[in-house]
Amino acid sequence: MFKPLRVLLLLTLLAGVAIGAWRDKARATGWHSSLQVAVYPIAADDSPVTQAYIATLSDESFHDVQDWFTAQAAPYGVAASPPVQLWLAPAVPVLPPTPPQVGNALQIAAWSLQLRWWAWRRDAGPHPAPQVKLFVLFHDPAESRAVPHSLGLEKGLIGVVHAFATPAQAAQNNVVLAHELLHTLGASDKYDLSNNLPAYPLGYAEPQRQPLWPQARAEIMAVRVPLSPREARMAEGMGETVIGAATALEIGLTRP
Ligand SMILES: [Zn+2]
């Protein structure tokens, strides 16, 4: 084939992917109907503990996220009821493509396309095609004390969440899951990347509180409850988190 024709075909394909991603994102944050979110469990290691934990999961395992979103969206008069519907999708026997450790923009773009293609081929089970796909990689806590960073991609509405395979961490796993879900919908991080402390005022659940510290809850995109100017602790469950005004604007609950 002539080179100009090949380039034209590639550009047409990429433009198609970009327009598709923009349309999917606009639908997801329109809040006219329930946002369909599928959670795909994946064993990140070959520990029997991880397998046994995945076998205990059901739709019920994510109801606290669904109910939390309903409560958080209520003041904004959202038409969809519930605004977000989460369900368990079939377990995936393979790992998603890993992001480049230190990649240039081109390598990151290539990985993002690869991940979207990988996600597109996953079976949703008996449910209709989900709008957002969250792949949760479970780790046996006896084998991994810390897990890799989770991520949520706005382009393609895909999250890759790292979680611990133990009931003791289930509530906190869901906090990370909700955080990444909101990233896919366009929410930005609201903490200082150098020290993990919530950014003031946008990363505070109650920025007007007197005295300011300690706060009782975390803004979901800051994930930590500010205790003092230099201390914050991870939110332990959905009940300790809120959607702040800036995040609500980013995900379309309010309009500018
Ligand atoms: Zn984040």
Domains and CATH numbers, the chain: 32-186 (3.40.390), 190-256 (no CATH)
pLDDT band at 138 (very low <50, low <70, confident <90, very high): very high
Distance 232 CA to ligand 1 centre (A): 16
Distance 8 CA to ligand 1 centre (A): 36
Q: According to the model, what pLDDT value does residue 1 have? A: 58
Residues 14-41, mean pLDDT to the nearest whole number: 91
> pLDDT digits over 217-245, tens only?
999 999 999 999 999 999 999 999 999 99
pLDDT band at 80 (very low <50, low <70, confident <90, very high): very high
Distance 174 CA to ligand 1 centre (A): 14
From the number of C-beta atoms within 10 Å of its C-beta (0-12, 13-18, 19+), residue 206 rates as middle
**CA angle (191 as vertex; 73, 254 as ends), nearest 5:** 25
* Higher per-residue pLDDT: 138 or 22: 138
pLDDT band at 256 (very low <50, low <70, confident <90, very high): confident
- Residue ranges near ligand 1 (ion) with Cβ within 5 Å: 189
pLDDT band at 198 (very low <50, low <70, confident <90, very high): very high
Q: According to the model, what pLDDT value does residue 61 have? A: 98
State both tokens at 108: 């990151």
pTM > 0.85: yes or no: yes
Distance 180 CA to ligand 1 centre (A): 6
Distance 185 CA to ligand 1 centre (A): 12
